[in-house]
Amino acid sequence: MKKKILFVCLGNICRSSTAEGIMRRLVAEAGREEEFEIDSAGILSYHQGELPDSRMRAHAARRGYELTHRSRPVTTDDFYRFDLILGMDDRNLQDLRDRAPSPEEERKIGRMTDYCTEIDADHVPDPYYGGSAGFERVIDILEDACQGLLTSLTPGS
């Protein structure tokens, strides 16, 4: 059975879409695509159907990531479909908990930065209103967290 992971941020155009792109590449590099289903979504539907933010795509491309996900909002079905739902910050986590249809589905919610092994971060900051350094910082954190997540989902690790 595939491990189904959903990454969530506010609008699904910066952080969660980047986490999805990074995780997809790590899984592919490990030759484990058949083991995972990876997606991302946003709390809000404001950017629904849009590609990730052009600045984030540019920063990600410099590191070899192609971000092609189209923004979509979190749905109730996501709580039943995914095994792990990872929020980027406290607001995302609270919004997810508020939307969880049952205590069982609420237990699927986790904090993305809990998987960091190198970077000390308690959340993934939203780079939307900042400059280049913010986008680079987000990618740094997400690379660390996604690698930690993959390691945690590796048998025998």
Q: What amino acid positions are annotated as catalytic residues? A: 9, 15, 126
What sign does the dihedral 45-48-50-56 (CA atoms) show?
positive
The C-alpha atoms of residue 141 and residue 136 are separated, in whole angstroms, by 9
Nearest to 57 by CA among 71, 38, 36: 71
Answer yes or no: are the C-beta atoms of 124 and 89 closer than 8 Å: yes
Q: Which residues pair with 8 in a beta bridge?
A: 41, 87
Distance in angstroms (rounded) separating the CA atoms of residues 60 and 94: 28
Distance CA(90)–CA(123), nearest Å, equals 7
